[in-house]
């Protein structure tokens, strides 16, 4: 059975070098080479085309995909479950409140106990600045030690479903969305994307989405413009990384304190609220101390500070500064007059591009499935060719 779209995705994969993805974790996009990132996109696209062609890409007939969410989630939680199911894995949520973790079970013990017949562990840990990524690394090290000791027949791979530094499944889905909107990854070179802070009547939104965007889009030669009110900076090291990636790829990375300046002549806009780096540092310390009164005081201070920048909203007037830009958001957006009185985006702007944001979100299950597949399959090109040739129906 031949399908040109599937064949094209497999052909693009076969031209890439991505062997380091096998038997490894996917934690940060900036730890992966451009070819490895392209490999994820190629497999994701192939899986999407297979499902559209009613071809089953199930590569497992048993095994668990364990999900550990330490923060609330809708899109990423369901995307992980969908990705696991697409490949043939059953999903098991690890509820820390119902586990022995609440009784002092160590990270190493938990990691081993949930992994005997597991293939992948998806972790979302974005609450504590300076701890989320480190937790994932500790889980990975525990799994490696158990595998080397012969306790685990297969070491589960870890997929970062959002940490304090990066949100790789989101940013990779965003990259695939852009590639499809603009006719390929190579066509993104020189395109202007405005990653800007936007007003929200809530506090404590993670830094990982804007950090993920500037850390990834600068890898592909884009003109990345980061804008936020003075004092709302991201983790300094990641801003520095983005500037370095832009130099390497032939793109640009600029920083300003003007939303209008960032929007001017932009091809893509991504207005998204986040809490300032220094606020997240304070919040982390208060959370660790379980200082509830301190958290309430910090929240009120931050909400008052946010209100000073209520005009940082993606409006029709600001969109007129752009080149009829594509609007992007990880969702849910704070929509003025809909989900809040004043928020990140005007209802008219969001409504005009609602379908595009839903398409953007729709790539995430396939990106996650691609990360899992590439971590577990030694010859993904051969496997995908075989699946495509067999053409086993997904549904009758």
Give me Rg for the CA atoms of the chain.
21
Fold of 4-166+364-390: Rossmann fold (3.40.50)
Going residue by residue through the chain, which has 396 residues, state the pLDDT in tens, using 9 for 90 and above.
469 999 999 999 999 999 999 999 999 999 999 999 999 999 999 999 999 999 999 999 999 999 999 888 889 999 999 999 999 999 999 987 666 565 568 999 999 999 999 999 999 999 889 999 999 999 999 999 999 999 999 999 999 999 999 999 999 999 999 999 999 999 999 999 999 999 999 988 999 999 999 999 999 999 999 999 999 999 999 999 999 999 999 999 999 999 999 999 999 999 999 999 999 999 999 989 999 999 999 999 999 999 999 999 999 999 999 999 999 999 999 999 999 999 999 999 999 999 999 999 999 999 999 999 999 999 999 999 999 999 999 987
CA dihedral 211, 232, 306, 69 (to 10 degrees): 30
For residue 106 the two structure tokens come to 């160590």
Beta bridge partners of 22: none
Whole-angstrom distance, CA of residue 154 vs CA of residue 117: 8
Backbone angles phi, psi at 269, to 5 degrees: -125, 145
What distance, in Å, lies between the first and last C-alpha atoms of the chain? 17
CATH 3.40.50.1370 domain span(s) along the chain: 4-166+364-390, 170-360
325 three-state secondary structure:
coil
Whole-angstrom distance, CA of residue 315 vs CA of residue 386: 49
Place of tokens 């790829």: 249
**pLDDT, tens only, 193-242:** 999 999 999 988 999 999 999 999 999 999 999 999 999 999 999 999 99
Domain range 170-360, CATH architecture: 3-Layer(aba) Sandwich (3.40)
Whole-angstrom distance, CA of residue 160 vs CA of residue 368: 9
């Amino acid at each position: 059975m031949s399908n040109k779209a599937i064949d094209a995705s497999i052909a693009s994969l076969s031209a890439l070098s991505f062997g380091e993805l096998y038997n490894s974790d996917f934690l940060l996009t900036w730890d992966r080479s451009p070819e490895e990132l392209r490999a994820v996109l190629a497999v994701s696209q192939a899986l999407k085309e297979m499902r559209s062609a009613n071809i089953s890409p199930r590569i497992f007939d048993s095994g668990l995909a364990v999900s550990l969410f330490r923060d609330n989630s809708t899109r990423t939680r369901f995307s992980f479950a969908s990705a696991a199911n697409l490949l043939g894995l059953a999903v098991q949520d690890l509820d820390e409140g119902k586990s022995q973790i609440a009784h002092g079970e160590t990270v190493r013990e938990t990691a081993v106990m949930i992994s005997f017949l597991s293939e992948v562990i998806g972790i979302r840990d974005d609450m504590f600045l300076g701890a989320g990524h480190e937790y994932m690394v500790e889980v990975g090290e525990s799994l490696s030690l158990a595998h080397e000791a012969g306790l685990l027949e297969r070491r589960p791979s870890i997929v970062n479903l959002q940490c304090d530094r990066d949100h790789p499944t989101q940013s990779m889905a965003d990259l695939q969305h852009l590639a499809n909107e603009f006719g390929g990854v190579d066509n993104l070179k020189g395109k202007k994307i405005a990653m800007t802070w936007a007003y929200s009547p809530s506090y404590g939104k993670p830094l990982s989405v804007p950090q993920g965007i500037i850390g990834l889009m600068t890898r592909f030669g884009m003109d990345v413009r980061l804008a936020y009110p003075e004092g709302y900076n991201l983790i300094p090291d990641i801003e520095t990384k983005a500037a370095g990636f832009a130099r390497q790829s032939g793109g640009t990375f600029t920083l300003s304190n003007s939303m209008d300046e960032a929007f001017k002549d932009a091809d893509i806009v991504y207005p998204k609220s986040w809490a300032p780096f220094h606020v997240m540092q304070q919040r982390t310390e208060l959370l660790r101390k379980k200082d509830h009164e301190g958290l309430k005081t910090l929240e009120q201070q931050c909400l008052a500070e946010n209100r000073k920048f209520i005009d940082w909203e993606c409006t029709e007037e600001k969109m007129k500064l752009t080149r009829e830009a594509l609007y992007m958001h990880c969702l849910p957006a704070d929509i003025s007059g809909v989900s809040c009185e004043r928020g990140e985006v005007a209802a008219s702007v969001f409504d005009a591009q609602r379908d595009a944001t839903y398409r953007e979100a729709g790539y995430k299950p396939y990106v996650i499935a691609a990360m899992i597949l590439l971590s577990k399959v030694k010859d993904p090109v051969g496997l995908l060719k075989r699946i495509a040739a067999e053409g086993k129906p997904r549904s009758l």
